[in-house]
Structure 1
Amino acid sequence: MIKVLIYEDNQQLREGLGILISGSIGFQLTGAFGNCAEVEQQLDELKPDVVLMDIDMPMVNGIEGLRKIRAADSDVRVLMLTVFDDNENVFEAVKAGANGYLLKKTPPARLLEYIADVMEGGAPMTSSIATQVLNMVKSGNNAGTQDFDLSAREMDVLKLLVNGYSYKMVAAELFISIDTVRSHIKNVYEKLQVNSKSEAVAKALKTRLF
C-alpha cells in the first residue's frame, strides 16, 4: 500500500486527486491540504511514502515546502504536480530534492503509474518536462563543465538517472544487473559528493556534465 499525501490549493483538483488515490487499489490517501505551512508536523504525523506537491500555493510555495520536507526527511518521495514547466521552476525543484516533476494535465491512470514508479526508484517526468531538463543540460547558463573523474559507465548511469530511469530500467538499458547499477550509483554519489539521486541530477545539470 503506497501512502500518498497531497498539497494542492485548488480545492476541486485536491478533492479529485484525493478520490483518485483513495479509490485506487494499492494506494492510500493519508491527507490533502491547501498549503504546506505545517508540512513538517504533517509529515511526522501522517508518514506518507509519496507527497504530491503543487508549486503555486499561498503562505508557503511548493518549492519552499519541498526544502522543508528535505530538511526533515530525505527518504520520502516528492513529486511536483504543477502547471509550470519552465526551466527555472524545474531546476529549482530538482535542486531542492524533487524525485519527479509532473504536469497537472497528466492523465489519472498515468499519474498512478508515476507514483508507483517513484516508489521503485524512478524519477518520473512528463515529456515536456523531460524536454526542459534536456534543454537545461544543453544550455550554457550554468557553471563550467566538470567531469569529477566519472568513468564512461558511471556517466551512462547518471545520464539515465537524469532522464528519469529507475534502477531497474537502467539495468535493462545497459544490460547489467541491478546490483551493478547500485555499485555504479554509489561511486557516482561519492565522486559528486552527494547523498541522493535528486542531488546527483541537480549537480549534473548545474555543472553541465553532459
Structure 2
Amino acid sequence: MIKVLVFEDNNSLRQTLKLLIDHDDDLWLTGAFNNCDHIKNHLEGDIKPDVILMDIDMPGIGGIEGVKIAKQMLPAVQVIMFTVYEDDDKLFRCLVAGANGYLLKKNSASQITAAIKDVYGGGAPMNPEIARKVMQMFKEEKSLPSHGLSEREVELLTMLSQGLPYKVIAAQTGISIETVKTHLKNVYHKMHVANGTEAVGKGLRLKIIK
C-alpha cells in the first residue's frame, strides 16, 4: 500500500481527503494535519510516508517550506502540491523546492487518487494548464545538448511534460506501462535527475522538449 500524509488547513477538505484515501484499497493514510509546524516530528516516526499531499498556504509553516523540509529529511518522498493557485511565482517556487507534482483543488476524487499512484510510480502529475505554464517558464532558455536521448525517450518525456499518466502514455504509444517506466528510468539516468519533475524541468530548460 502507498502511505500518504496530508497537509491541508481547510478542515472540510482535509476530512474529504481523509475519507477519499481511507476508501482506496491501494492507499494508507498515515496522518492529516492543518499545517507543517510539526512536520519534522511527523516524518521522524516509524511509519514513513511514500507520498505527501501538500497545500501551499497554511498558517504557521506553509507548504513551500514544508516541501523543503520533507525533501531534506526524506529525499525519496514524493510531494504533490494541492492548491487553488495557478500563478507562475508559486508554481516555480514549489518546483524549485522539490515538488514532484502540482494539482489544482478543482480535480475530481478519481484524479486525486490517480495522481497519488502516478507520482508514487515515478510520474509527475500536473493539470494540463499547469504543465503549459511550466513549459512557458523555460521556453526562452538557451538550447543545449540532448543528453543522448533516443527519439522514443524524447517522445515519452514530452508526453510526461504534458501531465499524462503512465497508463495514457502507454496507450497512445502502443507499449506497456512497464516499458514506459523502463524508458523513463533510462531518461532520468541519462539526464542525471531523480524523478519525472526534474527531468521535465531540465528537458524544457535544455529545449530537449518544447
- Any stretches of 5+ residues in structure 1 without a counterpart? none
Q: Distance in 2 between matches of 1:180 and 1:20?
A: 30
Q: TM-score, normalized by length of structure 1?
A: 0.82
Quick check: 1:31 aligned with 2:31? Answer: yes
1:101 CA displacement: 0.9
Q: Which residue of 2 aligns with 1:22?
A: 22
Q: Which residue of 1 aligns with 2:92?
A: 91
Would you say the 8 A contact 1:148–1:191 is kept in 2?
no
How many residue pairs get aligned? The number is 207
1:174 CA displacement: 3.0
Q: Distance in 1 between matches of 2:183 and 2:28?
A: 34
Q: Distance in 2 between matches of 1:193 and 1:42?
A: 30
Q: In structure 1, give the amino acid aligned to 2:10.
A: N
Q: Distance in 1 between matches of 2:104 and 2:160?
A: 19
- Any stretches of 5+ residues in structure 2 without a counterpart? none
Please list, as runs of the form range in 1=range in 2, the aligned pairs for 1:1-210 lying within 5 A after superposition.
Answer: 1-45=1-45, 46-137=47-138, 139-140=139-140, 143-149=141-147, 150-176=149-175, 180-209=179-208, 210=210
1:187 CA displacement: 4.0
Q: Distance in 1 between matches of 2:121 and 2:136?
A: 26
Q: Distance in 2 between matches of 1:85 and 1:178?
A: 30
Q: Distance in 2 between matches of 1:36 and 1:164?
A: 27
Query: CA, structure 1 residues 182+20, in 2 after alignment: closer, same or farther (shift >3 Å)?
Result: closer
Q: In structure 1, give the amino acid aligned to 2:4.
A: V
Over the matched positions of the two proteins, sequence identity in percent amounts to: 45
Would you say the 8 A contact 2:5–2:49 is kept in 1?
yes
Query: CA, structure 1 residues 37+205, in 2 after alignment: closer, same or farther (shift >3 Å)?
Result: farther
Q: Distance in 1 between matches of 2:62 and 2:200?
A: 22
Corresponding residue SS for 2:60: coil
